[in-house]
Structure 1
């Protein structure tokens, strides 16, 4: 795929490096304040690390601000977060609602494990409506021909939260596969601006 659109992929990586580096620099004071608040809110590490699917079906370690109680964190990611999840801390609820917990993934983008835009990276073994994604959607792993993203087409369209229904899970993967098949740097820019507008309107994370 990279051979088909070399300039678009080169521009995508340049955008990833430029925006993630600049964002980390600008947001550093804010990130340090968030880290301090996490330590004050509940005992445990500031960052939560989880193994997820990366490009080419490789496995990557993704960073997030810890939003759950240390003794109740699910490192596997199989148990998806639901609304009013008792595992989530008071501060964690705010971070998840505003997606602040995702900001450490800028480090993953800078490293090259992730991209700003792409199919959202799923935890290895993640279930959709109680069954493995691979069984529900036979083409599931085709979404992994590209780097996973901090945001993606399915997130911009509001397909977020737990995949507790088969139809919702299939719709999310359909968006991912459409993105993979139709990627251009212009589509990435549309998704970035669409995500920003969605977040300014209040977002819908939990």
Structure 2
């Protein structure tokens, strides 16, 4: 019974962490959508407050994750070979993303996933809006989201729910949830679940969260740069 309660409690903690991710990632989008209703002083306060809170969140999640990492893992350094393997994982992720996007276009007629549509749909508001909100939004896409999502979905999820070492179960379950948060239809869910599995495999290869964080950043930074170019050009 105690073991069951422990699992239930850990599952609730994991759900709470997912809620934190959603709030942290979505806040800049809400600020941009409602920026016309805010005064300049309020905008500056919210931008600074958000920056401080996100910095605290990343620090807190990182320290929490590090508590469950053994000494050998903590001392691991990333070699050029590791970077090369991460790039191979990136190519695998691109194959999944391109295939998923093409199938989604054929079935639904959408040129991109609803997740990407929501992001690029804010272009007008980003061009004409409050610059610090725009910067926060771009940083979330390229840096913040990869860090907190990997710490939660790959690192802390493995420590909380799959400490027994069942890697494939961990990969499937966490990736299904990861995909669900990024998708609006079955095809998108399958596509983002596939990407989640690639991220998990990058993490599981050395049990080093830095690998999947770097992979996630490499995946997210090009769209962030494209969006930035669209906004500022």
Per the normalisation by structure 2, the TM-score is 0.29
| Structure with bigger gyration radius | 2
Per the normalisation by structure 1, the TM-score is 0.32
**Structure with bigger RCO (C-alpha 8 Å, 6+ apart):** 2
